[in-house]
Structure 1
Amino acid sequence: MITCWITIVAQRDGMSIKKTQHKSSGKSGKKQKTKKPRKADIADRHELYEKSVQATDFEYEFVDTNFRRIRGRTATQLREDFCGTAQMCCEWVRGRPDNRAVGVDLDPEVLAWSRDHHIAALDDEQKTRVTLLQENVLEVKTEPVDVVLAMNFSWQIFEVRKELVRYFASVREALVDDGILFLDAFGGYEAYQEMEEKTRHKGFTYV
């Protein structure tokens, strides 16, 4: 802040009147630094979530392959519970022209984000095969589907046994007779796969 004193001398009736005024320029002697926004302030939390924990191309392959292996047919109707951004719903309808998907979530904000980002990226025909519902997974009623997904440990929100049993019962009603509920109980998708890893340390034998 630059401050100066201005002295004004005026003549009135032969008398000299001296006035002193204070004036501030509003400018600082030091250069003001522009505060840059933090990355966290401008980051898209939904996009970060997807990059952190989702791999829908792998998820599609896992669900599609294992349903066919277990049931001997191809799944076409999918419901994604706790769908969030509904990225998997969109992955599913892109997979085959007869695939249809329903996404269920309580949060209107994340569903709106999905419509603006993922649904908007689909072509007009694919958009007709995706439905997003702002509903409670314990109460929602949908047409019978081949697959219900409850991924990323979302179903573990039900910490009371009675509520968890209620959810599983509602899922059973939502499935066709040979439908399958896919959910993860630990790790990630690679936790279900048989893998071979070579590790060598002197004096140790890894099997």
Structure 2
Amino acid sequence: MGKRGKKQRHPQKPSRRGSLHDLDGEDDTSDFGHEPHQLSLPSSSSLSDQEEEEEDVEDDETDPNPSKDIPSKFLLYQQSVQSPKGDISYLQKFFLMYVGGRVPLHLQEDFCGTALLSTEWIRCDSRRTAVGLDLDLEALNWCMENNVNKIGSDGYSRISLFHGNVLQPLEARLVKAQPQDLIRNFTLKDREDDPETGPWECTAQVSPNASTNDELMKNFPLPARDIVCAFNYSCCCLHKRGELISYFKHVLDALSRKGGIFVMDLYGGTSSECELRLQRKFPSFTYVWEQAEFDIIQRKTRISLHFHLLKQQKKLRHAFSYSWRLWSLPEIKDCLEEAGFQSVHFWIRQMPDTEVVRSTEGFGVGRDVKYEEVTSFQQQDAWNAYVVGVAN
């Protein structure tokens, strides 16, 4: 995030589904809403110099106090476009439908960014574990400091965050929890029955995350995952078919041999192939989704997310920006099957017409529209889809 008087460059850090095509955003398990986060990208996808120069905070010249608090772009993202409870509800539903026989406990969140989904996953059940993988170390560290530390003393022992590329997951490095994060989460327990120990005992649990910063995923003991997910259109960051198949093979290797599922999301419709600018208004800021022109041969577009801060009278332009190759549903299905998945299922819902809904207040639009499993679907102005790959 750029500072006044000095522009600070960032690697391209897409958000896990920042699209305003998905306008429900409800944290309601009955609504099964989506939740965009940070995406990791191959190193070749970095911003151009011109785009990096634009990625800054634009100050209002009348602002008498330019140094007053500006919320983190990661926090703004979570508040404006993420709803992990909805995705988790669907993940559980898909697992029980297509695998069944046991309760899913072990999740891997690829392109996890601030890993809000993973932290919500382990928060809801003390038996659960989560693995997060992302190329953005800043987002992962922010997660450690702002999300994991709210889980409780055992949070660090049940989540493992890795910094690396989804195309080379075994080479990803474990992210180290900072000592201050561990200290914040210790608890004291009354031990009146032990005079040698004294009246208090520290019950903080130190995660393997704190042991070393050089441990690779391939050397780290992890349970086989019941579910692997890649949400917020993150697979659009992979531009080549070979990369997509390679990634799906890595996913298959991570899933349990007893059966597991991979779930990703995708958006489309006629509005996805043209320039588009939509906004979502909140009490203290406005979130803006900007889609550049669409190349029909390469099927590529550039997405930028902006935040307009009302209280601070500032604009965080290009807070997140990324290049996407918009895959079609049949292409995704073919690649999943070629990678070795047993079956592929589509769950789709129609989204509000973008010609009508250019601006919305909060998460009020589309909240009652449910996803349905389909084998055919007529083209619309805008739609969202879950793609479920089943491995048995």
**Quick check: TM above 0.5?**
yes
Structure-1-length-normalised TM-score: 0.70
Show the counterpart of 1:80: 109
Q: Which amino acid aligns with 1:45?
A: K
1:140 is matched with which residue: 169, 172, 180? 169
1:181 alignment partner, SS class: strand
Confirm or deny: 8 A CA contact 1:53 1:152 kept in the other structure: no
2:147 is matched with which residue: 105, 111, 118? 118
Give the whole-Å Cα distance in 1 for the aligned partners of 2:147 and 2:137. Answer: 15
The alignment status of 1:56 with 2:84, answered yes or no, reads yes
Give the number of aligned pairs: 160
The alignment status of 1:160 with 2:338, answered yes or no, reads no
How many Å apart are 1:38 and its aligned residue?
Answer: 9.2
Show the counterpart of 2:73: 45
1:186 alignment partner, SS class: strand
2:229 alignment partner, SS class: strand
Give the whole-Å Cα distance in 1 for the aligned partners of 2:143 and 2:348. Answer: 27
The alignment status of 1:96 with 2:125, answered yes or no, reads yes
What are structure 2's unaligned runs of at least 5 residues?
1-61, 171-216, 269-346, 350-369, 373-392
How many Å apart are 1:186 and its aligned residue?
Answer: 2.1
2:168 alignment partner, SS class: coil
Q: Which amino acid aligns with 2:81?
A: V
The alignment status of 1:181 with 2:269, answered yes or no, reads no
Give the whole-Å Cα distance in 2 for the aligned partners of 1:50 and 1:34. Answer: 26
The alignment status of 1:71 with 2:152, answered yes or no, reads no
Give the whole-Å Cα distance in 1 for the aligned partners of 2:81 and 2:234. Answer: 12
How many Å apart are 1:65 and its aligned residue?
Answer: 2.1
Q: Which amino acid aligns with 1:119?
A: V
2:226 alignment partner, SS class: strand
How many Å apart are 1:61 and its aligned residue?
Answer: 1.2
Runs in 1 of length 4+ with deviation above 2 angstroms?
Answer: 33-39, 141-144, 189-192
Confirm or deny: 8 A CA contact 2:230 2:264 kept in the other structure: yes
More helix by share: 1
How many Å apart are 1:190 and its aligned residue?
Answer: 7.8
2:169 alignment partner, SS class: coil
Q: Which amino acid aligns with 1:127?
A: Y
Q: Which amino acid aligns with 1:107?
A: D
Q: Which amino acid aligns with 2:267?
A: F
Distance change (3 Å), C-alpha of 1:37 and 1:158:
same
Give the number of the structure with larger relative contact order, counting CA–CA contacts within 8 Å between residues 6 or more apart.
2
Query: C-alpha offsets along residues 115-170 of structure 1, whole Å, 9 cap, x if unaligned?
Result: 11001111112321011111211111354211111000011100111111111111
Q: Which amino acid aligns with 1:186?
A: Y
Q: Which amino acid aligns with 2:131?
A: V
Give the whole-Å Cα distance in 1 for the aligned partners of 2:139 and 2:261. Answer: 26
Query: C-alpha offsets along residues 11-62 of structure 1, whole Å, 9 cap, x if unaligned?
Result: xxxxxxxxxxxxxxxxxxxxxx7624399x8132111211222101111111
What are structure 1's unaligned runs of at least 5 residues?
1-32, 195-207
Give the whole-Å Cα distance in 2 for the aligned partners of 1:129 and 1:64. Answer: 19
2:162 alignment partner, SS class: strand
How many Å apart are 1:176 and its aligned residue?
Answer: 1.3
Give the whole-Å Cα distance in 2 for the aligned partners of 1:61 and 1:42. Answer: 33
- Name which of structure 1's ranges 49-58 and 137-146 shifts more when overlaid on structure 2: 137-146
Percent identity over the alignment is 34
